[in-house]
C-alpha cells in the first residue's frame, strides 16, 4: 500500500503516531510487548506527539509503529493492513519459529527496529536490509512498583524449557525460595516483582542475546537483576554496571551469594536503577524516528497526557495502558478516588505516572468497572460521573453479580443487586436523573451461567426462564455507550422533568 499525504492532528501540529500492539483472544502472551510499547508511548508523548493506541491490524494508520508483527499471520488479511511507512518493532529472537520466510517478507521494504543490537545484526543478515537497534529506554512512568516486604528470593517469569528448569532446580537445591511463573503480566507480575529480592533472566534460545525487554523493567523499579551472559555474548555497555552477570553454569551459585549479602544486593539494585534511568527513552525514540515524523519547532505537549481508558476499582487489575482508580490506597492505584464523590472533577490529583491533574470531562474512550457498582451507596452520582468522564461514543464495560446468584448477597459490603432492568434509568429514563445533555445506550448484555444455568441451557430451557431461576446466573456483563441527546430527547426530558413530582 503506498503512502498518501497525511492530515494534521487538527491543532496545526503533525499527524498522530499510532502504536499498535497486536493482541489475540485467549492468548495472554500478547501482553509480553507491553513494557516496550509503554516506554515508546510515553517517550512520544513527552516529545510532543499525539499518540493513538490499537490492538489489531485495523489500528494501523499512516505513521504507525507495530509491536508483535509476527502475530499478523493469526489475523485474516493481517499483513495486507500494513503500509509502506509502518515501522515494525521486532521482539522475536532470530532463531524463533516465527522468523520464517513469510515474516521476513513482511519486514523487507519497511523500516525495522529491534530491541537487541545482536538480534538486529542477525535479522539484517536474514532480511538483506538494515535493521535499526532501538533499545528499551526509561520513562519516569515506568518506575511505579511500590516497595513491600520481600519474601521471594529469586523470581523468574517466562516460559520454561529444560535449560531454564535446570537453573531453577539448582537454585532450589541451594535452599533458595524460587518463584517461577509463565503467562503472568500486568499487576499480577508487578506484585511478584515487588516481593522479589532478585529477578533472574535466563536465555531460552542459544546463542543468547541480551534480553533488555526482560531486565529493564525490574531495573527501573530498583530490583537487583541476575542476567545470564556466556562467553561470546554481550550486554549493553551502559547497563553492565547495574547487572549481576554470570554464565549459565554459575547462575545458581551467584544467586545464592547475592541472597546471602543484603548490602551487595541492594547496592546492585541501586546501580541498576541509576544505569537504566540514565537511558532516556524520549531521546532514543526521537533519534530513531524518520525525519518526516519529528515535530518541527513545536513545543512539547503539556504534561500530563492521560490514557484514553480508565479502570475504576482497579484493585488487583492494574492496567498500565489506563488510568487506574481505586478507593483503597493499599492497591497502589494511580489515584485514590471515590467515584460517588459529587465534586470529583474539582479535586486536585497527583499520580506518580502522570503528574498533577484534574480529571477531565469527556476525555475517556473506555471505562472498565468490574464488581464495583454493587458496593456503591450513591449509584446515581457514580453513573453521572462515569457519563461525564466518557467522550461521546465512549464505552463503559460493567460486570456485576446477578441478583438471583449467591454472589449478589454473600459479600456483606454489597448494598444492591442487579438484573436486566437495572439500566433503564441510565438509558430510556435519563431525564429522571436530571441528565440534560447525554445518556447511555445499552449496547450488549450477557449472562454468565452457573453450573445450574449451564445444565438448563443444555436441556434447551428458554433464556427468559433461566434468568428467573435462582442460582442459574452468576454474573451479568453489560456494555453502555455514551451518546449526546438529540433535540427531541432534550425537549422530552425537559417536559418530563417538569412533571417528575407526579411520577
Residue 4 has pLDDT above 90, yes or no: no
Q: Are residues 365 and 494 in the same domain?
A: yes
Q: What is the pLDDT of residue 153?
A: 98
The tens digit of pLDDT for each residue in 79-108 reads 889 999 999 999 988 888 888 999 999 999
Q: What is the pLDDT of residue 7?
A: 44
Q: Are residues 160 and 207 in the same domain?
A: yes
Q: Are residues 375 and 467 in the same domain?
A: yes
Q: Are residues 43 and 109 in the same domain?
A: yes
35 band by pLDDT with thresholds 50, 70 and 90: confident
The tens digit of pLDDT for each residue in 110-130 reads 999 999 888 899 999 999 999
Q: How many Cα atoms are found within 13 Å in the side-chain-facing hemisphere of 170? A: 15
Q: What is the pLDDT of residue 18?
A: 93
The whole-angstrom separation of Cα 93 and Cα 133 is 13
- Dihedral angle at the C-alpha atoms of 257, 260, 263, 264, nearest 10 degrees? 10
- CATH of residue 207's domain is 3.40.50.2000
Distance of CA 257 to the CA centre of its chain: 35
Q: Are residues 43 and 23 in the same domain?
A: yes
Range of the domain at 102: 17-133
In a domain, 9, yes or no: no
The whole-angstrom separation of Cα 473 and Cα 365 is 29
Domain count, the chain: 3
The tens digit of pLDDT for each residue in 451-487 reads 999 999 999 999 999 999 999 999 999 999 999 999 9
Query: By percentage, how much of the chain surpasses pLDDT 90?
Result: 64
Q: What is the pLDDT of residue 354?
A: 83
Q: Are residues 122 and 163 in the same domain?
A: no
Q: Are residues 145 and 129 in the same domain?
A: no
- CATH of residue 58's domain is 3.40.50
The residues, any chain, with a CB within 8 Å of residue 445's CB and separated by 6 or more, are 420, 423, 476, 477, 478, 479
14 band by pLDDT with thresholds 50, 70 and 90: low
In a domain, 303, yes or no: no
Rounded to an integer, the average pLDDT of 135-150 is: 87
In a domain, 50, yes or no: yes
- The answer to whether residues 293 and 51 touch, using CB atoms and an 8 Å cutoff, is no
Q: Are residues 170 and 275 in the same domain?
A: yes
Q: Which of 107, 133, 159 represents a domain boundary (last residue)?
A: 133
Q: Are residues 348 and 429 in the same domain?
A: yes
More confident residue, 240 or 498: 240
Instruction: Please measure the distance between the N-terminal and C-terminal CA atoms of the chain and give it in whole angstroms.
Output: 60
Q: Which of 99, 133, 167 represents a domain boundary (last residue)?
A: 133
- CATH of residue 492's domain is 3.40.50.150
The tens digit of pLDDT for each residue in 353-393 reads 888 888 999 989 899 999 999 999 999 999 999 999 999 88
Residue 17 host element (H or E): strand 17-21
Residue 284 has pLDDT above 80, yes or no: yes
Q: Which of 128-142, 231-245, 295-309, 482-496 has the lowest mean pLDDT?
A: 295-309
The DSSP symbol for 444 reads E
Closest of 330, 339, 449, 451 to residue 387, by C-alpha: 339
Q: Are residues 463 and 494 in the same domain?
A: yes
**70: its cell numbers:** 509476527
Q: Are residues 68 and 169 in the same domain?
A: no
The whole-angstrom separation of Cα 477 and Cα 131 is 45
In a domain, 210, yes or no: yes
13 band by pLDDT with thresholds 50, 70 and 90: low
Query: By percentage, how much of the chain surpasses pLDDT 70?
Result: 94
* Sheet strands side by side (includes 473-484): 335-336, 323-326, 309-312, 364-370, 390-401, 473-484, 438-449
Strand partners, 364: 390
In a domain, 424, yes or no: yes
The tens digit of pLDDT for each residue in 244-281 reads 999 999 999 999 999 999 999 999 999 999 999 999 99
- The answer to whether residues 60 and 20 touch, using CB atoms and an 8 Å cutoff, is yes
Q: Which of 133, 164, 180 represents a domain boundary (last residue)?
A: 133
- The answer to whether residues 202 and 251 touch, using CB atoms and an 8 Å cutoff, is yes
In a domain, 267, yes or no: yes
Q: Are residues 104 and 211 in the same domain?
A: no
Q: What is the pLDDT of residue 89?
A: 96
The tens digit of pLDDT for each residue in 166-224 reads 999 999 999 999 999 998 888 889 999 999 999 999 998 877 788 888 899 999 999 99
Amino acid at each position: 500500500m503506498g503512502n498518501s499525504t497525511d492530515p494534521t492532528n487538527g491543532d496545526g501540529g503533525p499527524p498522530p503516531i499510532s502504536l499498535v500492539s497486536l493482541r489475540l483472544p485467549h492468548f495472554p502472551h500478547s501482553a509480553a510487548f507491553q513494557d516496550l510499547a509503554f516506554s515508546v508511548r510515553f517517550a512520544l508523548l513527552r516529545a510532543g506527539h499525539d499518540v493513538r493506541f490499537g490492538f489489531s491490524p485495523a489500528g494501523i494508520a499512516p505513521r504507525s509503529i507495530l509491536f508483535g508483527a509476527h502475530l499478523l499471520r493469526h489475523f485474516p488479511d493481517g499483513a495486507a493492513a500494513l503500509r509502506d511507512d509502518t515501522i515494525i518493532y521486532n521482539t522475536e529472537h532470530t532463531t524463533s519459529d516465527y522468523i520464517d520466510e513469510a515474516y521476513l517478507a513482511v519486514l523487507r521494504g519497511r523500516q525495522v527496529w529491534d530491541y537487541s543490537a545482536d538480534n538486529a545484526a542477525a535479522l539484517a543478515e536474514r532480511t538483506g536490509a538494515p535493521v535499526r537497534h532501538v533499545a528499551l529506554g526509561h520513562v519516569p512512568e515506568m518506575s511505579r512498583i511500590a516497595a513491600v516486604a520481600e519474601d521471594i528470593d529469586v523470581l523468574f517469569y517466562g516460559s520454561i524449557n529444560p535449560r531454564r528448569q535446570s537453573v531453577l532446580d539448582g537454585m532450589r537445591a541451594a535452599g533458595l525460595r524460587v518463584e517461577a511463573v509463565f503467562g503472568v503480566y500486568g499487576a499480577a507480575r508487578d506484585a511478584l516483582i515487588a516481593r522479589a529480592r532478585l529477578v533472574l533472566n535466563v536465555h531460552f534460545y542459544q546463542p543468547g542475546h541480551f534480553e533488555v525487554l526482560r531486565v529493564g523493567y525490574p531495573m527501573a523499579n530498583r530490583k537487583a537483576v541476575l542476567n545470564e551472559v556466556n562467553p561470546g555474548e554481550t550486554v549493553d555497555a551502559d547497563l553492565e554496571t547495574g547487572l549481576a552477570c554470570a554464565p549459565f553454569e554459575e547462575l545458581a551459585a551467584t544467586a545464592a551469594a547475592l541472597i546471602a549479602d543484603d548490602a551487595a544486593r541492594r547496592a546492585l539494585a541501586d546501580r541498576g536503577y541509576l544505569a537504566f534511568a540514565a537511558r532516556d527513552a524520549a531521546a532514543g525514540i526521537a533519534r530513531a524516528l524518520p525525519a518526516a515524523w519529528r515535530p518541527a519547532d513545536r513545543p512539547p505537549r503539556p504534561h500530563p497526557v492521560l490514557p484514553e481508558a480508565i479502570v475504576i476499582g482497579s484493585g488487583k487489575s492494574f492496567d498500565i495502558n489506563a488510568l487506574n482508580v481505586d478507593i483503597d490506597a493499599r492497591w497502589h492505584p494511580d489515584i485514590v478516588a471515590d467515584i460517588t464523590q459529587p465534586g470529583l472533577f474539582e479535586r486536585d490529583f497527583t499520580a506518580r505516572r502522570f503528574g498533577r491533574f484534574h480529571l477531565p470531562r469527556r476525555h475517556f474512550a473506555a471505562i472498565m468497572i468490574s464488581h464495583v457498582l454493587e458496593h456503591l451507596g450513591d449509584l446515581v452520582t457514580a453513573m453521572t460521573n462515569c457519563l461525564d468522564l466518557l467522550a461521546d461514543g465512549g464505552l463503559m464495560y460493567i460486570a456485576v453479580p446477578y441478583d438471583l446468584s449467591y454472589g449478589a448477597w454473600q459479600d456483606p459490603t454489597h448494598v444492591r443487586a442487579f438484573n436486566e432492568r437495572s439500566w433503564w434509568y441510565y438509558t430510556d429514563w435519563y431525564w429522571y436523573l436530571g441528565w440534560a445533555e447525554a445518556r447511555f445506550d445499552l449496547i450488549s448484555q450477557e449472562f454468565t451461567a452457573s453450573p445450574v444455568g449451564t445444565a438448563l441451557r443444555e436441556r434447551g430451557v428458554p433464556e427468559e426462564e433461566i434468568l428467573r431461576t435462582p442460582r442459574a446466573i452468576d454474573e451479568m456483563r453489560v456494555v453502555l455507550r455514551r451518546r449526546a441527546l438529540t433535540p427531541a430527547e432534550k425537549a422530552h426530558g425537559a417536559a418530563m422533568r417538569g412533571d417528575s413530582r407526579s411520577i
